[in-house]
Chain A
Amino acid sequence: MAAVTGRLVTAGAAARRGWLPFQVVVRHGSKAVTRHRKPIHILRQKLLAVTEYIPPKPAVPERCIKPWEQEIHEPSILEKLIRRDVEFTFQENKMIAVFQNNSINSEDLRLLRHRLMKHDIRMKFFPNRVMRSYLTDTKYKNLLPLFIGRNIILVSKEPKTKEMLQIVRSSTQISLLGACIEDALFSRQGVVKYSRLPGMQVIRGEVVSGLTQITSQTCQLLNNGPVLLTNLLEQYLKQQGDAVIGQKESATTEQKETQESQGS
């Protein structure tokens, strides 16, 4: 009762202020189930407002704690297959050269392929995504910047750079970016220099000769002293001999002169 009168008092006060809800009491007799939405009693409205859903809110908002969503790219079966191929290629071949593919004609590509095949250089195409994921895990990390745009890889077991460069020189759309020859990275100029190197046999010969040069000199060095001595002695003897001959000659010439003077 007190609560009701209290309510009336507050309602009266509210009415005097000019604010009252639209429907205070729902008293006319529509049934519970109607086709239209029935006007809701104010108290029920309040109850619904008070008991609304409040979602859970952690002390620190999720977006402050959660790290940036890094797309963990789970490799599909096809990717795994291609990756295996890539691994095999890297293991098998000594020379791996990366070229930029500037939309070469398929016919020109075919010709190029044929010419390269004669020197046992294979042309490989791999998707960049797979290539990059493989390279980041191995020691060939520094090849990563080469595999960005469209590219072709030429691989061969024997590093035949000279032939490769000669063949590729003819086509304008293929340009060398870099190469990894026998686990050593080369830039374009490096590859050119590498191609100018003489063959393995020659270098071996040079190395061997260089190493043995010093040892071959020891004999000469050891002999140097006595040889010099003998040379000097010979020279001395010669000088002595010359001196003797000179004296004799001078003596004979003097004799001749005296004879001539005597004779004349």
Chain B
Amino acid sequence: MLKVAESKGLHQSLRKCMIVPDAQLPIPSDTYDLILVVGALSIGHLSPDVLPELLRITKPGLYQNFSIVFAAGLKTYECPPSYNDVIIPEKPKLKFMNKVPNYKKARRWMKRLGDIRGPATQANNIAWGQYAIVALGGGYLHWGHFEMMRLTINRRMDSTTMFARWRVNAPYKPVTRKGLGQRMGGGKGAIDHYVTPVKYGRVVVELGGKCALEEVEPFLSEVAKKLPFPAKVFSKESLEEMVKEEEQKAANNQNPWTFERIASMNMMGIRKVLSPFDLKHHGKFTGKFRVPNRV
């Protein structure tokens, strides 16, 4: 502080002394016309016992104005988190995703709806950033969704303190459509557009940087609402918590009859109405939907 004051060059003399109630300041009496105490006379800083000392060094007879602010309450604030170990990459914004992948030869694919079905195994935890939009259902993302996400997030985030990253690929799966009013038959239709399949639990977009969830959650949830599958904003901790809760529920379930047990032992011939998919996923998923409150 003293250096800053020196650089301004406004002061006749700058000194740093400790004001102690009982000892005297190294300043002769009656030197100053005015004493300005900036934010020092409060609980924890200077005690009011220093006032006689301050009175001594001011010239007598002049108006002495003490405005002391008493601590009106005892609200103590938690230390804000320090983001010292967070590095913001060079290109913090979401990059542009192509509408069409550059295949050498554009082949038509089978529908393969299994890429929507079931839980995600690939990108299901937050790797780079701290906050993410996580899909809570299966679906396809096409270029329109990508553009919406990219534009909204790039516009609303602060590129100096935050960075965003895609966690899904650009559309690569071709979707075919026949012309309007065409009759059945005549071969498979032509490729209309490309999509990216997304399963339950997949991280779509990640956000990180020197920011708190409260800053980031508004626009991320805006984006999440517009996606074709149910999605939610998670932080690293909340995602871990969700997973842990599910595990705990499975562990402390009091019901002796579980889907897994009945299905794997084929009790009551229930395999007649179950599929091998149910055997693997224990009734938690039907199609692209996640059945809530299962196990």
Residues of A within 8 A of B (CB): 3, 31-34, 37-38, 40-41, 43-44, 47-48, 50-57, 76-79, 81-82, 85, 110, 113, 117, 122-123, 125, 127, 129-130
The residues of A that contact B273 with a CB separation of less than 8 Å are 41, 43-44, 47
Interface size on B, residues (CB 8 A): 44
A-B contact count, CB below 8 Å? 93
Say if the beta carbon of B288 comes within 8 Å of chain A. Answer: yes
Nearest-CB residue, chain B, relative to A106: B67
Cβ–Cβ contact B283 & A47, under 8 A: yes
B231-290, CB < 8 A from A: 249, 252-255, 257-259, 262-263, 268-270, 272-275, 277, 283, 286-289
**Cβ-defined partner of A54 (8 Å) among B44, B138, B254, B270:** B254
Cβ–Cβ contact B117 & A32, under 8 A: yes
Q: How far is the CB of A54 from chain B (nearest CB, A)?
A: 4
Cβ–Cβ contact A55 & B76, under 8 A: no
Can you report 16 residue pairs joining A to B where beta carbons are below 8 Å apart?
A3-B269, A33-B138, A37-B287, A43-B270, A44-B274, A48-B283, A53-B255, A55-B252, A55-B254, A56-B252, A56-B254, A78-B44, A79-B74, A82-B44, A82-B74, A127-B74
The residues of A that contact B288 with a CB separation of less than 8 Å are 33
Say if the beta carbon of B114 comes within 8 Å of chain A. Answer: yes
Say if the beta carbon of B149 comes within 8 Å of chain A. Answer: no
Could you tell me the distance between the alpha carbons of A123 and B255 in the complex, rounded to whole angstroms?
67
Q: How far is the CB of A114 from chain B (nearest CB, A)?
A: 9
A-B contacts besides A51-B283, A56-B254, 5 pairs, CB < 8 Å: A33-B114, A53-B293, A53-B294, A54-B254, A123-B48
Could you tell me the distance between the alpha carbons of A31 and B113 in the complex, rounded to whole angstroms?
9
Could you tell me the distance between the alpha carbons of A51 and B259 in the complex, rounded to whole angstroms?
6
Could you tell me the distance between the alpha carbons of A126 and B270 in the complex, rounded to whole angstroms?
73
